[in-house]
């Protein structure tokens, strides 16, 4: 008996449409089963969505910000009411544990809540009498049609980084979710429709590169937001800006966590395990490399290895939950295993080995267990490439200066953290390390909705980041109005 597949329609001009033609399979990573077919859309679907968004823009732009905010207050309520369903959808199509899914959706909710404050966020500036009889003010106006191209690793959270604020600012929007995880986007779109978003203001198109290229080159698209790998981020940025669009393109990372000799071992192990192995390592803020300083390595490693070996791996689509779920596809699992093999070949030592994971009741799932690789050296492939899996590299340095120097050689610049009880060491690290988000005794220093997600270097292409006030600037353009009035005696107006 064949499994009934979950529908995966486009949402264009306020209508749900299931196109015929080519599609790509959507897997449940826990079982390896196909659960949906994602339409392999192209230029025709993209053009229809952009045209619908373009036609809806004038009416939405002129909708008072407080009325736009009320839709997002309703949207927040609907997301909360459907929280469990969203969590199950994230776990089913991505493989996150229920706890990880809940955490990611809470972060998405925070972005909806931030968007609800749009009447205040859109405030401009004013100054009377900048010259005699001349007043000046700034107003923040929407751009037009904006686009979000999102990755597989956070099916709900990353889209919610983008479109609530873009829409609240008065833009219209076309979302192109990852073809690996399209079902959360559909569910979120259905809830936004229920919240009362006008037809054409928000649209969803599915597909691969053809859809992406059509969005990047469409003359009526004004701005593009992207999250994904660094090579694709650079391509997105170069192509979008070449075609006259604003672009914020978030790429990959290689995040370093420095452990000082005075660090609290138990707390460090707890945070480092979460940073490295949470979400199966499939996040751009994963703490993928630990740099132990001096005696910290010998103090840390026995407990860290024991913690990794104790992590229970298994399917996340059922009531009994593991500590860690699968990676996204069989191909990605094989890539992680290949990188581990390269590390061994180049002289690193695997001290906690997750390669032999077998799940009896889910033999076709895409599993890799928590893995720690010790004595990783700078020239190794494991040290250079983003693994994007449950793998922690360990590198050893004699002092903090050497640790910072090593971290700063990375081409990436998303996150970095230090574990220490020494305020001077923490201050030295936070001031000198080359990363946009820095944690002190915080393993994953990812920001909340009111702060920007400030990747640097090869982790970000653009000028204005996702989230916070920078995102408001990204999704709006400033107009400066200077005014002076001529006429007779002003007092005459008030005379009867």
φ, ψ at 457 (rounded to 5°): 50, -130
Other C-beta atoms within 10 Å of 55: how many? 15
Residue by residue, DSSP assigns 399-421 as: SHHHHHHHHHTSSEESEEEEE-S
At 469 the three-state DSSP class reads helix
Handedness of CA 77, 83, 85, 86 (dihedral sign): positive
Which residues does 185 contact at the CB level (< 8 Å), separation at least 6?
A: 150, 155, 159, 175, 177, 204
Other C-beta atoms within 10 Å of 136: how many? 15
φ, ψ at 96 (rounded to 5°): -65, 150
What phi-psi label fits residue 4: left (phi over 0), alpha (psi between -120 and 50 degrees) or beta? beta
Residue by residue, DSSP assigns 315-342 as: -SSSSS--SB---S-HHHHHHHHHHHHH
* Helix (H) / strand (E) containing 293: strand 289-293
At 25 the three-state DSSP class reads strand
φ, ψ at 113 (rounded to 5°): -65, -40
CA 317 to CA 291: how far, in whole Å?
Answer: 35
Other C-beta atoms within 10 Å of 196: how many? 11
Helices assigned H by DSSP within 15-130: 43-61, 65-81, 83-94, 98-116, 118-121
At 388 the three-state DSSP class reads coil
Distance of CA 246 to the CA centre of its chain: 18
Question: 112 vs 115, 163, 168, 178, 366, CA distance in Å?
Answer: 5, 9, 9, 21, 33
The closest alpha carbon to 207, from 38, 331, 328, belongs to 38
3-state helix, strand and coil shares in percent for the chain, rounded to the nearest 5: 40, 20, 35
**Would you call 38 a catalytic residue per the annotation?**
no
Handedness of CA 380, 383, 385, 390 (dihedral sign): positive
Catalytic residue among 8, 184, 247, 284: 284
CA 230 to CA 197: how far, in whole Å?
Answer: 33
Q: Under a CB-based contact definition with an 8 Å cutoff, are residues 234 and 249 in contact?
A: yes
Question: 417 vs 140, 164, 394, CA distance in Å?
Answer: 36, 30, 14
Question: 416 vs 369, 385, 439, CA distance in Å?
Answer: 24, 16, 6
Bridge partner residues of 39 (DSSP): 23
Catalytic residues: 284
């Amino acid at each position: 008996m064949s499994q009934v597949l979950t529908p995966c329609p486009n949402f264009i001009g306020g209508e749900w449409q299931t196109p015929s033609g080519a599609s790509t399979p959507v897997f449940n990573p826990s079982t390896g089963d196909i659960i949906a077919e994602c339409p392999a859309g192209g230029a025709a679907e993209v053009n229809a969505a952009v045209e619908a968004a373009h036609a809806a823009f004038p009416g939405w732009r002129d909708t008072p910000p407080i009325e736009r905010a009320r839709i997002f207050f309703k949207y927040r309520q609907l997301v909360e009411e459907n929280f469990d369903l969203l969590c199950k959808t994230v776990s089913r199509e991505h493989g996150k544990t229920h706890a990880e899914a809940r955490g990611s959706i809470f972060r998405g909710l925070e972005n909806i809540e931030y968007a609800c404050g749009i009447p205040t966020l859109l405030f401009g500036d004013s100054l009377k009498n900048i010259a005699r009889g001349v007043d000046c003010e700034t107003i923040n106006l929407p751009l037009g049609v904006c686009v979000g191209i999102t990755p597989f690793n956070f099916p709900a959270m990353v889209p919610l980084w983008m479109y609530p604020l873009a829409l609240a600012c008065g833009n219209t929007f076309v979302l192109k979710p990852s073809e690996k995880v399209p079902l959360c986007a559909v569910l979120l779109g259905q809830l936004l429709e229920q919240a009362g978003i006008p037809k054409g203001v928000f649209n969803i198109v599915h597909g691969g590169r053809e859809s992406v290229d059509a969005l990047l080159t469409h003359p009526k698209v004004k701005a593009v937001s992207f999250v994904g790998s660094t090579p694709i981020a650079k391509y997105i940025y170069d192509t979008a800006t070449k075609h006259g669009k604003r672009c914020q393109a978030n790429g990959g990372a290689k995040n370093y966590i420095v452990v000082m000799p005075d660090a609290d071992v138990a707390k460090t192990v707890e945070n480092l395990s979460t940073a490295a192995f949470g979400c199966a390592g499939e996040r751009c803020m994963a703490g993928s490399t630990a740099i132990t300083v001096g005696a910290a390595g010998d103090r840390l490693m026995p407990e860290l290895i024991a913690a990794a070996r104790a992590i229970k791996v298994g399917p996340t689509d059922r009531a009994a939950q593991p500590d860690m779920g699968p990676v996204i596809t069989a191909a990605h699992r094989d890539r992680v295993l290949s990188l581990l093999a390269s590390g061994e070949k180049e002289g690193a030592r695997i001290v906690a080995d997750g390669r032999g994971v077998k799940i009896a009741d889910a033999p076709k799932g895409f599993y890799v267990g928590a893995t720690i690789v010790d004595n990783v050296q700078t020239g190794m492939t494991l040290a250079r490439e983003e693994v994007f899996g449950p793998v922690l590299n360990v590198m050893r340095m004699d002092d903090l200066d050497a640790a910072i120097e090593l971290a700063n050689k990375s081409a990436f610049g998303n996150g970095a953290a230090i574990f220490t009880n020494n305020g001077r060491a923490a201050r030295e690290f936070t001031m000198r390390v080359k990363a946009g988000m820095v944690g002190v005794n915080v393993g994953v220093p990812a920001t909340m909705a009111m702060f920007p997600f400030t990747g640097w270097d090869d982790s970000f292409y653009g000028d204005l980041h996702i989230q916070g006030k920078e995102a408001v600037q990204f999704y709006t353009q400033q107009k400066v109005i200077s005014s002076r009035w001529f006429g007779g005696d002003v007092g005459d107006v008030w005379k009867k």
